[in-house]
Amino acid sequence: MNLFATLEQAYQTAQAALEAAGDTSALEAWYADTLGRKGAITLQVRSVGQLPAEERPAFGKRVNEIKQALEAAYAARAEAIKQAELTRELEAGAVDVTLPGRPVPLGHLHLTTQTLRQIYTIFARMGFEVYDAPDVELESYNFDLLNIPEYHPARDMWDTFWMQQIHNSPTRLLLRTHTSPGQMRAMRERYPEPIRVILPGKCYRYEQITARSEHQFYQVEGLAVGKRITMTDLIGTLTQFAAMFYGPGHKMRVRSSYFPFTEPSIEMDMDCILCGGKGCRVCKYTGWLEIAGAGMVHPVVLKNGGYDPDEWSGFAFGFGVERPAMLKYNVSDIRYFYGNDLRFLRQF
């Protein structure tokens, strides 16, 4: 066959094969078979020796034209295949924005936080503001200034977590065992203004953990200081609180008690919300539940706070937060509060 015709045929075959190459690997194979060192077109150059001398330049020129045309066609095809492959990849990984989303679980406030907020609301309506005091306290604020000097037997009422001593600091640090040191902070900051605050916060006691007591728990302290504050104001305030927190119609009673920082000291009881006063396991068959420890601010404490006890008087009270929440929401074990079990926490 005429070598020119063979060449043209090889060209046509190569073009058809290029059209048929559908992906990168087929394209690479085509290149090796066509324009590679042993490719069909490359090999055509060798047959130039079989031609008469005068035909050789024309043949050579045609081979070069074909080579260039095929190189260009190869480049174009390579680009097209790359685009097609990219498009395919993008389509495979595409996000279907019409699919419904996965639900994000919503959290909510902890039972303690909910209870604290109810308490804030009730006292806010009686004119009390929330006053913040630190968890890590000076020994003097937690004890001495509250009329509980070292070696006073009343210190045994509060088993204490002590902080490690820093430097040679003259006063020791501890985790507050009650919110009462906040009374001193409020008085020293507010003097000579009258005071009406509640002091919520976490307290810490070095005690055995049981179903009824944790070694960390919340208290809410109350403090009112003014010119003519009496025990009646205290009893009225706590009675009003109980009615708003537990609901109206409860019987209240006052017992005398002892705290070093109040004089006289009382404890407020309410008829048991579970048995209505008949006596049950929760009220230990007394019919009564203790609501708060309280009393008139001791003259020594007023003086330590900067207020002259001949001119000023005040009342203070303190109660836990988890126990009222347990009564109200029928929780049988205080350890559930901070056990991090969502099955418990989600119920409220």
The one segment of 105-113, 121-129, 287-295, 334-342 that binds ligand PHE by CB under 6 A: 287-295
Q: Which of 141, 307, 317, 336 binds ligand PHE (CB under 6 A)?
A: 317
SS3 313: strand
Looking up tokens 């307290």 gives 203
The one segment of 32-40, 87-95, 292-300, 339-347 that binds ligand PHE by CB under 6 A: 292-300
- Check residue 304 for interaction with ligand PHE (CB under 6 A): no
- Check residue 316 for interaction with ligand PHE (CB under 6 A): yes
- Check residue 313 for interaction with ligand PHE (CB under 6 A): no
SS3 318: strand
Question: Which residue type does 246 have?
Answer: Y
SS3 303: helix
Nearer CB in complex with ligand PHE: 63/138: 138
Least distance between ligand PHE and beta carbon 214 (Å): 14
Query: Taking Cα atoms as reference points, which of 92, 42, 108, 24 lies closest to residue 347?
Result: 108
Least distance between ligand PHE and beta carbon 321 (Å): 12
SS3 122: helix
- Check residue 307 for interaction with ligand PHE (CB under 6 A): no
- Check residue 262 for interaction with ligand PHE (CB under 6 A): yes
Residues in the chain, overall count: 348
Q: How many angstroms separate the CA atoms of 315 and 125, rounded?
A: 18
| Helix (H) or strand (E) run with residue 297 in it | strand 288-297
Least distance between ligand PHE and beta carbon 255 (Å): 13
Nearer CB in complex with ligand PHE: 111/294: 294
Binding mask 133-162 for ligand PHE (x = CB under 6 A): ------------------------------
- Check residue 318 for interaction with ligand PHE (CB under 6 A): yes
Do 201 and 132 form a contact (C-beta atoms < 8 A)?
Answer: yes
Q: Which of 74, 204, 217, 259 binds ligand PHE (CB under 6 A)?
A: 259
Find the residue with minimal CB distance to ligand PHE. Answer: 318
Do 323 and 112 form a contact (C-beta atoms < 8 A)?
Answer: no
Binding mask 47-86 for ligand PHE (x = CB under 6 A): ----------------------------------------
Helices and strands in the chain, H and E counts = 11, 9
Size of the site for ligand PHE (CB under 6 A): 11
Query: Taking Cα atoms as reference points, which of 87, 85, 75 lies closest to residue 23?
Result: 85
Looking up tokens 């109206």 gives 248
> For 37-99, what is the HEC assignment?
CCCHHHHHHHHHHHCCHHHHHHHHHHHHHHHHHHHHHHHHHHHHHHHHHHHHHHHHCCCCCCC
Do 292 and 319 form a contact (C-beta atoms < 8 A)?
Answer: yes
The one segment of 4-12, 79-87, 104-112, 311-319 that binds ligand PHE by CB under 6 A: 311-319
Q: Which of 77, 178, 250, 298 binds ligand PHE (CB under 6 A)?
A: 178
- Check residue 294 for interaction with ligand PHE (CB under 6 A): yes
| Residues of the shown chain interacting with ligand PHE in the complex, contacts defined by CB under 6 A | 178, 180, 221, 259, 262, 293-295, 316-318
